[in-house]
Amino acid sequence: MTTTHDVHSPSFMTGDEFHIPTFRLLQQDGTLFEGAEAPELDEEKALKIYRAMLVTRVLDERMMAAQRQGRLSFYMQCTGEEAAVIGATAALDDADMIMAQYREQGALVYRGFSYDEFMNQLFGNELDYGKGRQMPIHYGSRKLHYMTISSPLATQIPQATGYAYGQKLAGEGHCTITFFGEGAASEGDFHAALNMASVHKVPVIFFCRNNGYAISTPASEQFAADGIAPRAFGYRMHVIRVDGNDVLAVYRATQEARKLAVEMNQPVLIEAMTYRLAAHSSSDDPSGYRSRKEEEAWREKDPILRMQRWLIERGWWSEEEEKELQDSLRREVLETMKRAEKRPPPPLESLVTDVYADVTPALQRQLDALKTHIRKHPDAYPKGARSLDPDVKAAAGEYKAGDEQGGA
């Protein structure tokens, strides 16, 4: 159904008629803008949000260093986007579902995912919930209502719409939030998801982290329109644009979006304007497509520094507490990483389980052949050899986690 009125000469529109403002509360010096009101946020919750931001930053720094040392195969950082991810998560109910893209580890930190749980996944050891089947940073947690990450871009967006439809039918007052970058919004899945959500009126929040780049492609080369927010008009959907480095604004915007989703079954699109301070991933070199000057300008807008100043201004934090917490977090990350490195991999048998109720004869033959091959070449597969025969000594040159490597 459309709503329109008649005209009697050609009249075209480009969308320039619409202007979407950016919602901001907190200035970079830690004070509120004139006329702005901070959301209701007590000291305990404010410090929980800030601690999660710091934990995420320290985790990312240490694990990227570990990747550079060859201890990890791959890593992706949230650096510069902590306020967007954690501010939004803090505004949700802990039972709301999160469907992330791959840069939202801060949401897990806020909900209580431990360093051990992070490390077990990153190293794919025997305690990894995914049994070593996923590449690093593909976290998931059923208990924390965080859907496991999948590599294909944007697949989580229509899945979020479908899951939210189920939440609507259940009627228990929960919603789903799905995070994605502005690059993923160019996928067809984005449009299908928004259309379905709007037509069926489901409690879902589409949270776009517009960090300026789809890997190396700047936003100016991705779309001609004014960002992602205007696309909501095509689906008659509520939309808000927010300063993604302003944790208070993100928190408040997501609070209001959740009310629309849960109380009125209205989907909402949030576009958080932020910047990816780190490389796209450990495989990327951003110096090839952006300048140091640009990066430094955004470092001045660091979301962690902005919230830290606000906390200090309120008397809830101090520079002494900052140093003490950062030092303790770095120690804890290194200690946890060393433990995770030393844990053995999942048993080889797990390669063929969890698909069929019983392992098929064909899979069993393949597994037996693999075991024979590993036993024949234990020096080439030291971890696999130990998994099969703990008493077998692999080649003398076998790598031992933590040996001859400095701290990350």
Percent of the chain with pLDDT over 90: 89
Could you tell me if 163 and 381 are in contact, meaning their C-beta atoms sit under 8 angstroms apart?
Answer: no
Give pLDDT tens digits for 118-167: 999 999 999 999 999 999 999 999 999 999 999 999 999 999 999 999 99
Q: Which three-class secondary structure state does DSSP give residue 261?
A: helix
Average pLDDT value for the chain? 93
**CA nearest neighbour of 239 among 205, 199, 211, 273:** 205
Largest CA distance in the chain: 87
Instruction: Kindly compute the dihedral angle of the four CA atoms of residues 53, 57, 60, 62, in this order, to the nearest 10 degrees.
Output: -130
**Would you tell me how many other CB atoms lie within 10 Å of the CB of residue 245?**
28
> Across residues 46-75, what is the average pLDDT?
97
Alpha-carbon separation of residue 231 from 182, 190, 194 (angstroms) = 12, 10, 9
Q: Which pLDDT score is estimated for 26?
A: 98
pLDDT band at 4 (very low <50, low <70, confident <90, very high): confident
> Across residues 85-96, what is the average pLDDT?
98
Alpha-carbon separation of residue 257 from 53, 161, 194, 240, 262 (angstroms) = 22, 15, 15, 9, 9
Give pLDDT tens digits for 350-364: 999 999 999 999 999
Looking at the chain, the domain(s) classified CATH 3.40.50.970 span 43-341
> Across residues 266-278, what is the average pLDDT?
98
- Measured CA to CA, the distance from residue 176 to residue 163 in angstroms comes to 7
Give 348-351 contacts, CB < 8 A, sequence gap 24+: 348/374, 348/384, 348/387, 348/388, 350/131, 350/132
CATH C-level class of 43-341? alpha beta
Q: Which pLDDT score is estimated for 393?
A: 52
Residue 402 exposed, middle or buried by CB count within 10 Å (0-12, 13-18, 19+): middle
Give pLDDT tens digits for 214-269: 999 999 999 999 999 999 999 999 999 999 999 999 999 999 999 999 999 999 99
Q: Which pLDDT score is estimated for 391?
A: 59
Q: Which pLDDT score is estimated for 386?
A: 82
Instruction: Kindly compute the dihedral angle of the four CA atoms of residues 335, 337, 339, 342, in this order, to the nearest 10 degrees.
Output: -140
- Measured CA to CA, the distance from residue 228 to residue 179 in angstroms comes to 13
Total count of residues recorded for the chain: 408
pLDDT band at 401 (very low <50, low <70, confident <90, very high): very low
- Show the tokens assigned to 126: 């025997």
Could you tell me if 255 and 39 are in contact, meaning their C-beta atoms sit under 8 angstroms apart?
Answer: yes
Alpha-carbon separation of residue 8 from 12, 13, 16, 126 (angstroms) = 12, 15, 22, 71
**Would you tell me how many other CB atoms lie within 10 Å of the CB of residue 46?**
22
